[in-house]
Chain A
Amino acid sequence: MAKKVALLQGNEACAQGALYAGCKFFGGYPITPSTEVAEVLSVELPKVGGKFIQMEDEIGAMASVIGASLTGSKVLTATSGPGVSLKQELIGYACIAEVPCVIINVMRGGPSTGMPTGPGQSDVQQAKWGTHGDHAAIALVPASCQEIFSETVRAFNLAEKYRMPVQVLFDEIVGHSRERIEFPEPGELEVIDRQTPTVAPEQYKPYDTSFGDVPPLAAFGSGYRFHVTGLNKAQDGFPTTKASLVDDEQRRQLRKVDAAQAEIEKNEEYLTDDAEVVIFAYGSTSRSARYAVNELRKEGIKAGLFRPITLWPFPEKRVAELAKKAKAIVVPEMNLGQMVLEVERVAKGDCKIGFLGRVDGEPINPGQIIAKVKEVK
């Protein structure tokens, strides 16, 4: 049977990906350029018995999705710069309390209101460091409508599997582009549900590490009564200030992602095998970069593209390898120097690093990248 195809906007593809993953609850607050995610889900969720709620602000939206997730639902919220700043407080709550949820950030410029209708990639470090305290982070950066669909599904899988918030960041260009997408058949993409307890309710502890670094999570109302708090807590979920327990807990929450990096990491490489200059680019910028690689190759310059699809955890090992092999890595991004810091950190001076930043609300074009490569090479 022919697959269902459609011409969809990135934001619409995101909503469809969420439905495919089994999302049953959306809590949001309108903001350009992410609003279509909410609009589509307000129509589609009730059709499948799901719930849509427009909250009073983004903090409330984040709170509502965490509350809903604790009842066992797969949950989503979507926003953009100013909204994602407001959500930081409770992204931290979802980290420490280990509550699965997916947060979409359709990136525009900033700080503050910035340019609401212009694209940006300036929230990429915020995705890692935005909320206070030490915590793990997973952030995905799709570059096309089809990929927004599949990465949204993967974001749900990672959130459920690792019991944590997962952010999907795409810039306004990808969010508002219309492209042909093929809908995967049910079962074609993997869909993961969180682990629920197998022990008797009396034995259940919400942070029981005898089940590994990601303890099973019971749903409110399922007969397992437990306590959830944003305070540091012991394995039974109740607050503790005991130094050793706090330390164990904090380290485990980083370790659960560190140890699974190979599984969480996802990159695409294009002509990097013999590349002398590697372009490190993500999101819509990677599409200009691919074009630039082809043009440079025509001129005899051995260029290649490294495109992270998982931005956090950062693909340290592979970038370090590329830094050893290549003469230079060029990092174009729609900000004033964010992921380039990470590239520099892991390259440890093994190759030259070139940076190209743009924050005027216009996309980075291939010509700019080509010029930068020639300058750095």
Chain B
Amino acid sequence: MAFDYDKYLRPGKLPHIWCPGCGHGIAMKGLIRAIDACGLEKNNTAIVSGIGCASRLPGYVDFNTLHTAHGRAAAFATGVKMAKPEMNVIVVGGDGDGTAIGGNHFIHACRRNIDMTYVIFNNSIYGMTGGQFSPCTPTGAKASTTVYGNPDPTFDISKLAIGAGATFVARTTAFHATQIDKLIAEGIKHKGMAVIEVLDDCPTTYGRRNKFRSVVDMMKRLKDIAVPVAAASKMTAEQLEGKVLTGVLYKEEKPEYTQQYAKVIAKAQGA
């Protein structure tokens, strides 16, 4: 039987704002399937986002939803989780939102290892504002503010998350749709900060400028660059040139922040 997305979508809130061919819808469906697979209760789940095309997601889904300010989602979510640790907290947002303006909040949420699942929709561009380069835009690529080619080096979000202390880090792409829900579900079940990077596409502002003739071309690229971690171990550096690793990149059990704070409370109360 086909999966029933309607169970989680807010009636009357579609159509969404996303362009035809935008990868964000694929990522949202993956998130919904993951939530379903984990059996999260709607009343006990908060979905928090920043600003951008990706960050419009919370308006469409039937949970406690918080569409915050540009880049601030992780910090709002930290407040929600600290105040009510029994809630499941999921953050969604774009690459610009999470790693440029929100970079500081992102790395510190990772460092605290607070129990939340951060799904970052990386289309390597500022989609909503019309295609300016983001910290994740490939060097040399064209954006509305890099018509001569992007001079900036590029962030590797997953490496950033691992370096900052996240204890579950995974990556996949919008082409690998069925992997999205599996990785997000694993992230939700993980106790601590889980970051799932979904490489997707923005045909409207990135594809056009960078000579992708169609959305299919963009999808093909995602298919071609992805190398599962297991396969990568058997490949040479040369073969891995220009590829990105997919699957669970890092997993570690470490004390979780709200549990650590529960110990602070116990100590303060003389336990």
Contact = CB atoms under 8 A, between A and B. Distances in A.
B264 to A, nearest CB: 5
Contacts of B13: 238
Contacts of A49: 265, 269
B42 A225 contact: yes
Contact of A56 (B76, B77, B108): B108
A57 B69 contact: no
Given A64-B79, A90-B72, A225-B43, A55 B269 contact: no
A90 B42 CA distance: 27
Contact of A51 (B82, B267, B269): B82
Contact of B65 (A71, A75, A90, A227): A227
B67 A231 contact: yes
A230 B67 contact: yes
B82 A56 contact: no
Contacts, number: 134
Interface string B25-68: 00000000000000000111010100100000011001111111
A271 interface: no
B67 A60 contact: no
A221 to B, nearest CB: 5
B59 A230 contact: no
Interface residues of A, number: 43
B84 interface: yes
A248 B108 CA distance: 39
Nearest to A90: B69
Interface residues of B, number: 39
A93 B76 CA distance: 11
Contacts of A220: 46, 64, 66, 80, 84, 87
B237 interface: no
A228 interface: yes
Contacts of A80: none
A229 interface: yes
Contacts of B67: 227-231
Contacts of A291: none
Nearest to B71: A59
A98 to B, nearest CB: 13
A270 interface: no
B49 to A, nearest CB: 9
Contacts of A27: 79
A231 B49 CA distance: 13
Contacts of B264: 46
Interface string A1-35: 00000000000000000000000110100000000
A53 B78 contact: yes
Contacts of B59: 227, 229, 238-239
Contact of B43 (A69, A221, A228): A221
A157 interface: no
Contact of A70 (B43, B66, B261, B267): B66
Nearest to A92: B69
A64 B108 CA distance: 13
B86 interface: yes
A243 interface: no
Contact of B87 (A53, A71, A90, A231): A71
Contact of B104 (A56, A75, A222, A225): A56
Contacts of A57: 104
B72 A60 contact: yes
B105 interface: yes
B69 A230 contact: yes
A64 B78 contact: yes
B268 interface: yes
A93 B68 contact: yes
B83 A93 contact: no
Nearest to B76: A67
A56 B105 contact: yes
Interface in A60-74: 60-61, 63-73
Contacts of A51: 82-83, 261
A53 to B, nearest CB: 6
A46 B264 CA distance: 7
A60 B46 CA distance: 18
Interface string A69-98: 111110100000000000001100100000
B48 A67 contact: yes
A73 B81 CA distance: 12
A46 B268 contact: yes
A67 B77 contact: yes
Max count, chain B CB within 10 A of own CB: residue among A63, A228, A238, A239: A63
B245 interface: no
B75 interface: yes
Nearest to A49: B265
A223 interface: yes
B90 to A, nearest CB: 13
A221 B46 CA distance: 8
Contacts of B63: 225
B83 A71 contact: yes
B61 to A, nearest CB: 9
A56 B51 CA distance: 20
A43 interface: yes
Max count, chain A CB within 10 A of own CB: residue among B43, B62, B261: B43
10 contacts: A25-B83, A47-B268, A56-B108, A60-B72, A60-B75, A60-B104, A65-B79, A70-B66, A89-B72, A228-B67
Q: Which 4 A-B pairs have the closest CB atoms?
A: A67-B79, A64-B79, A63-B75, A46-B268
Given A55-B75, A65-B79, A67-B77, 17 more contacts: A49-B269, A56-B75, A60-B105, A63-B72, A63-B78, A63-B105, A64-B76, A67-B76, A68-B80, A71-B79, A75-B79, A220-B66, A220-B80, A221-B46, A221-B84, A228-B65, A230-B69
